[in-house]
Structure 1
Amino acid sequence: MLLFSSSLGLFNISYDAYQNIILAFLHTSQIVLSAVLILLSIAQYIGTDNTLSKEEEIFYRYATLLEHEKYKENLENKYSKDMNSLLKDE
């Protein structure tokens, strides 16, 4: 939402003077609305709840354990190959 509202605000700038008062009013209202959207999206981001639910906590713990095991396997494979090559050389 922040990306949409910021792009709306950036591309809504025009340098032409409007001859019709209705077009000038519409242009001004679009700029004001895009600023309001930006402020609302920032407020929504700041006000979000940062606590994890029980399901999310279980998921992230499980994902961390899997990542740790994969890293450990990669290290073991790397160093076992190095040790095997050293033993073969001797």
Structure 2
Amino acid sequence: MDHLAMLARIDLTDAESEQLAGDLSVILDSLAQVREAAAEDVAPMSHPQPLSNVMRADEVRPGLTAEQALAGAPAAEDDRFLVPRILTDD
């Protein structure tokens, strides 16, 4: 427990260390049970269900002109949104 506490950069009292050692023992015992139940014929996987993204096909469609896009902007300059400066040259 002292080594784990050092790696985690935490200070543990002796009582906390004893309690966490018991908790860690329970966790490791649980992992051992999972290892025993794991079937060799089951391939390792990162997710229990197959993952797939439902995406539409890309297609070119007409969009807004610069004038239309900037119509509601509080300020614009050279076909671009004009926003307050937030970074300095420092």
TM-score (norm 2): 0.30
Relative CO higher for 1 or 2, CA cutoff 8 Å, sep ≥ 6? Answer: 1
User: Between Structure 1 and Structure 2, which shows a larger proportion of strand residues?
Assistant: 2
Q: State TM-score, norm by structure 1.
A: 0.30
**Normalized per residue, which structure has more helix?**
1
